[in-house]
Amino acid sequence: MTKLKITAAIGIFLLGLIPAIAQDKIVHDAEYYILKAQHGDKWEQQDKEIQKKLADLEKKHGSKPNIVHIMWDDTAVGEIGVPQIQASRGFKTPNMNKFAAEGQYYSRMYTEPSCTPTRAAFQTGRHAVRSGMYTVSFPYEYGGMSEKETTIAEVLSDAGYATAFYGKGHLGDIEQSYMTNMGYDEALWAPYNQVPSLYVTRGELGPMLPTSVDPSLYPDDPYDMDPGWRPSGYVWALEGTKNGPTREWGTPPNEDDYYAMEGECQKRTLDFIKKSVAADKPFFISYQPIAASFLGTQPGVAKKSVSASILHEFLVGFDQWIPELLQTLKDEGVEENTLVILMADNGPMTHHGPDGMVETLHTGGKGDFTEGAVRVPFLVRWPSVIEPNQVVGDIIHVTDLYTTFATLAGATKYIPTDRIIDGVNQTSLLLNGDTFSRRDNVNIYTGDILAAQVKGRFKRHWVGELPGLSGAAFYDLYNDPREVMGKMLPGFTTKTMFDVMRARHELMIRKYPNEKHPRGMPLTGLENPRPAVQKASEFRFKEGDLPFDPMEFLDYELPYDPSMESWGSRGN
């Protein structure tokens, strides 16, 4: 079949979908409807059984289920929950391993390839490319998540949930991207990643380029004509409440404040559980750990792991807090009515990252389109609801949590219907276990580029193919999970099918175009800005001093370039 005929046929198919989408209300990508056409009757029966079970649980506990979602950085599948791998890596997480045994351990949770995109996908139930949030935020970002997006916190708030966010927000530094403007009743969050941990004296005297952080430590450079060019008014974190003031938390470059953030987030998580229970409200907590300083363990604090890597030091320390979380749920009488999820946001930072960030089971890492970038640990625990000792091999995607949480909360009517929601309802997978997924496919974007697609056991790399030619771009993930033996002719049975799958996906984008994220000056609207932060929120020059509009740069977005985020392609 010619490419023209394929496109025409798929266009006709999508036109036929429009009535079905209208009836379904929530708009999904095309592949969902392909599966629904084959399994819809079975799914409908499962949903009836699930709704009865959820109704019985609500009657038993007097409330919708609580949800605690925890997502940290850069961890490969197998690093958590598999003590045999940990024994070979020099660290242990016995509490999280026990957590995995008490519920479900998933082998095919897919995320986006890096932190900001995954966090945006989790919040919105949409691939990050759809909201324009496909690059990683750094000080200053001059942009962030759009207020037009509907977050999971907004959906659950509308259903009567108390909502809180603690930890690494990493969704921008403009006001509309503040977590308290995205549906959370209260929040303490870092608007950036861990890179600002380097913007201190130890960083200046260590890994950072000389004078790039604090030029006052050096003799004057007579050729440094624009010293204000360096970012200086960065923040450790912001805090606030919905419709209330937003304040700076901590005082950079005070490192003690930076290291104190994790403990403060954990304390507030437990306090929010107690407060919500006392108020007789179901709660949703998104805790996304700060995880680490790029300068390593706080000076004077003993190492917790034999490997002593930054990642393992965090994991071992975090593991020690898990019993406190579970005990609090038990003490408050809500353990059996609370879904707790532990997961990572993407694979290890194998390119230009700290020691210990290495491939485990799969090839590649953060920023790549190979499985090592987008498969992460995913552990689920819900006593009395989810049976223990389950290993789940189905495909699930981070966006699926959006629709699944909304289903558990009886809140799907609050999901917007004027855009594509990539997340599909995986409640049946949670409650019934292995083989009950409603997804067999994944779109993998690097930036705004569709780099690869997965369909069941098969995968096609789109990046690297020569125009008009087919190469060894096809993979069998069962027999080649590390994607080192790409096939050409043996994979041609999947070639046209992937062509059709991509065409359907891109034609849906034509109907529901991707958005750009908004731009603006950073860190505005704070109640207590330090002078340097206030200065950062204002442009350095008066409009009349320049022969051009100094704000014009906000309307220009640089083309996506992985090198901007210090990533390389695999093999670099």
Sequential DSSP letters for 321-362:
THHHHHHHHHHTT-GGGEEEEEEESSS---SS--TT---SSS
Place of tokens 């670099």: 572
Amino acid at residue number 209: L
pLDDT tens-digit series, residues 247-286: 999 999 999 999 999 999 999 999 999 999 999 999 999 9
Summary mean pLDDT of the chain: 92
Alpha helices in 125-215 (DSSP H): 128-131, 152-158, 201-204
> Cα-flanking dihedrals φ and ψ of residue 96, to 5°?
-70, -35
How big is the chain, counted in residues?
572
User: What is the distance between the alpha carbons of residues 376 and 344, in angstroms, rounded to a whole number?
Assistant: 6
- Residue 109 CA to residue 53 CA, distance in Å, equals 25
Residue 445 DSSP SS3: strand
Written as six digits, the tokens of 145 are 């998540």
Q: Which residues pair with 445 in a beta bridge?
A: 450
Residues facing 143 on adjacent strands: 519
Q: Is the pTM of this model over 0.85?
A: yes
Location of structure tokens 């026990």: 98
Confirm if 444 and 113 have CB atoms less than 8 A apart. yes
Share of the chain above pLDDT 70, in %: 94
| pLDDT score for 527 | 97
Q: What is the DSSP string of 158-179?
A: HTT-EEEEEEE--SBSSGGGSG
DSSP letter (8 states) at residue 139: S
Q: Which of 139, 171, 117, 170 is nearest to 367 (CA)?
A: 117
Task: Give residue 551's pLDDT band: very low, low, confident or very high (50, 70, 90).
Answer: confident
| Burial of residue 225 (number of CB atoms within 10 Å: 0-12, 13-18, 19+) | exposed
Structure tokens at 129: 């490319």
Q: Give DSSP secondary structure letters for 81-109.
A: S-HHHHHHHT---HHHHHHHHTSEEEEEE
Question: Which residues fall within 8 angstroms of residue 286, CB to CB, at 6 or more apart?
Answer: 69, 71, 122, 152, 153, 163, 164, 165, 166, 167, 184
pLDDT for the residue 559 = 73
Task: Please write the tens of the pLDDT for every residue from 203-244.
Answer: 999 999 999 999 999 999 999 999 888 888 899 999 999 999
Average pLDDT over residues 161-180: 97
CA distance 35 to 44: 13
CA distance 235 to 196: 8
149/86 Cα distance (integer angstroms): 39
Q: Residue 567's pLDDT is what?
A: 38
* Residues β-bridged to residue 68: 285, 340
pLDDT at 564: 41
C-alpha span between 193 and 137 (Å, rounded): 7
Using the predicted structure, report yes or no on whether residue 468 has a pLDDT greater than 80.
Answer: no
Which pair of tokens denotes residue 396?
């699930």
What is the tens place of the pLDDT at every residue in 409-461? Answer: 999 999 999 999 999 999 999 999 999 999 999 999 999 999 999 999 999 99
Task: List phi, psi (to 5°) of 358.
Answer: -135, 160
At residue 173, what are phi and psi to the nearest 5 degrees? -125, 15
Contact call for residues 393 and 110 (beta carbons, < 8 A): no
Contact 533, 233 (CB under 8 A): yes
Q: Please give the pLDDT value at position 5.
A: 53
The rounded distance, in Å, linking the Cα atoms of 370 and 359 is 11
Cα–Cα distance for residue pair 155/551, rounded to 1 Å: 34
Residues contacting residue 500 through CB under 8 Å, at least 6 positions apart: 6, 10
Angle at 186 between CA 529 and CA 516, to 5 degrees: 75
Q: Which residue has the higher pLDDT, 564 or 201?
A: 201
Does pLDDT of 352 surpass 50? yes
| Region of residue 208 (phi > 0: left; psi between -120 and 50: alpha; otherwise: beta) | beta
- Please report which confidence band the pLDDT of residue 24 belongs to, taking 50, 70 and 90 as the band edges: low
pLDDT digits (tens, 9 = 90+) for 35-92: 999 999 999 999 999 999 999 999 999 999 999 999 999 999 999 999 999 999 999 9
Per-residue confidence (pLDDT) for residue 541, from 0 to 100: 82
- CA angle (62, 68, 69) in 5-degree steps: 145
Of 553 and 15, which is predicted with more confidence? 553
- Classify strands 104-110 and 375-381 as parallel, antiparallel or unpaired: antiparallel
